[in-house]
Structure 1
Amino acid sequence: MFIAITPYQDLSKSHIKHYCEIEGVIDYLLIRVPMNTEELIQWVHELLKNEFPKDKIIIHSDIKVIIRCDLSAIHFRENDRSIREIQTRYPNLQVSMSTHCKDAIANAKYLGIDFVLFGHVFETPSKPKQKPRAKTEVEEALQIDIPIIAIGGINQHTLPSLPNGFSGIAGISIFNQYSKHKLMNMKEVWDGHV
């Protein structure tokens, strides 16, 4: 599973163009932005007008966008208190969550979360003063029976070093800076890795 995550900024038409270009290589686009609900709804409508598949869109925590755009997937930060309520009110939604430790992953499994993002697994410029998860942390996390998507510092150089057991990768930089061709090459490396 390849999950592109938007940069945390207001999104533009150039983002729409890029995500439509790489759509065939990614499984999901996780939209996590500071835009207000109305702006985000307009942007999602533009994305859909450009034939980006509705079932590949995940919205970060804004249920109003999910409802107004008739989407089916929502993502939460680690142990968000509204997860249970959303699951109860909208039982058909796909729900995912960011995690940073095995206890959060175990809690996600208990809650019936569909998959989790776990990291950061490698050093990353977005977290310059934070060490990546230790090898033992990663090994313990991967023992939990839930799809776990690696995030943090993943690129064409680090991908071959990713421990076995992950169900996919997610990222901001690689999916925003890499061309479709380069991402297709990474997908080949991933397919040979798992």
Structure 2
Amino acid sequence: MIRQKFTIPEREVIPFTKQLHLISTGQQSAETFTGILQTIHEYVDRVHIREKNWTAKEIVDVVQTLIDKGVPQEKIIINDRIDIAYIMQTIGVQLTHHSADIALVKGAFPSLQIGCSTHSVEQAILAEEKGANYLFYGHIFNTQSKPGIPPRGLEKLQEITSTVKVPVIAIGGITPENTGEVIKAGARGIAVLSGVLLAKNPIQATLAYRKSLEKAK
């Protein structure tokens, strides 16, 4: 049974210290996704549900299943669906270029942490000015999910991280081997999809990323 409360107190912001964000791939069933998360969530800082083809009910059901499996609401972020993030009391919502304006969301839902996907310095500055709590930036390296599109690279990442004050999470082609370079460029964390969720051994893959993050300076 879903427990809904519509008066949500302000949450303490969990410090960003080399965080590992895990994003759903859009290639797995709800059962597979939640099953993997049950085994690895303690090693992950944020879990993003980014499923464009799921209905609102399906997303709500997945969030509730994750909670029932022990995944804290303070780790769960919903992509775009502000309403679901609010009624399910997750820590926040990830906005994109087609989402509602950051400032409007921040003003109407002060309890939610607002993330924003950005692809340039100008977008990053604007998102910070509008009240975003953190930014996604990428893709940093070549990735199969964006064939033929040149990566933005470490130099551009460093330009972003040195321009804005809010934490920047790097995404796109991140591996345990290049994680150290990303953190050296100023990123406060990494976002991973298939590198964990489609790995033969998701636990082993998660621990490899976690180890690389801890070693990074």
Shorter-chain TM-score above 0.5: yes
Structural mapping, 1:21-100, within 5 Å: 21-33=39-51, 34-78=53-97, 80-100=99-119
Q: Measure how far apart 1:158 and its partner are.
A: 2.5
Deviation per residue, 1:14-37 (Å, 9 max, x gap): 211101111011100010102011
Whether 1:176 and 2:197 are equivalent positions in the alignment is yes
Query: In 2, Cα distance between the equivalents of 1:120 and 1:138?
Result: 9
Identity value in percent: 24
Q: Which moved more, 1:99-108 or 1:64-73?
A: 64-73
- Residue equivalent to 2:15: none
- Residue equivalent to 2:6: none
Q: TM-score, normalised by structure 1?
A: 0.92
Query: In 1, Cα distance between the equivalents of 2:120 and 2:25?
Result: 23
Query: In 2, Cα distance between the equivalents of 1:60 and 1:183?
Result: 21
Out of 37, 42, 48, the residue aligned to residue 19 of structure 1 is: 37
Deviation per residue, 1:14-66 (Å, 9 max, x gap): 21110111101110001010201112111211121111111100001112212
Q: Measure how far apart 1:71 and its partner are.
A: 2.0
**What is the SS of the residue equivalent to 1:22?**
helix
Specify every segment of 5 or more residues in structure 2 that has no aligned partner in the other structure, as ranges: 1-18
**One-letter code aligned to 1:23:** H
Q: Which moved more, 1:120-129 or 1:155-164?
A: 155-164
Whether 1:151 and 2:174 are equivalent positions in the alignment is no
Out of 163, 166, 169, the residue aligned to residue 187 of structure 2 is: 166
Is the contact made by 2:23 and 2:193 (CA closer than 8 Å) also made in structure 1?
A: yes
- Residue equivalent to 1:120: 139
- Residue equivalent to 2:4: none
Q: TM-score, normalised by structure 2?
A: 0.83
Change (3 A) 1:145 1:79: farther
**What is the SS of the residue equivalent to 1:116?**
strand
- Residue equivalent to 1:186: 209
Is the contact made by 1:4 and 1:30 (CA closer than 8 Å) also made in structure 2?
A: yes
Query: In 1, Cα distance between the equivalents of 2:214 and 2:47?
Result: 20
Q: Measure how far apart 1:88 and its partner are.
A: 1.0
Give every structure 1 segment of 4 or more consecutive aligned residues whose post-TM-superposition deviation is greater than 4 Å: none
Specify every segment of 5 or more residues in structure 1 that has no aligned partner in the other structure, as ranges: none
Q: Measure how far apart 1:157 and its partner are.
A: 3.0
Q: Which moved more, 1:67-76 or 1:77-86?
A: 77-86
**One-letter code aligned to 1:142:** T
Q: Measure how far apart 1:72 and its partner are.
A: 2.9
Is the contact made by 1:152 and 1:171 (CA closer than 8 Å) also made in structure 2?
A: yes
Change (3 A) 1:159 1:38: same
Query: In 1, Cα distance between the equivalents of 2:70 and 2:182?
Result: 33
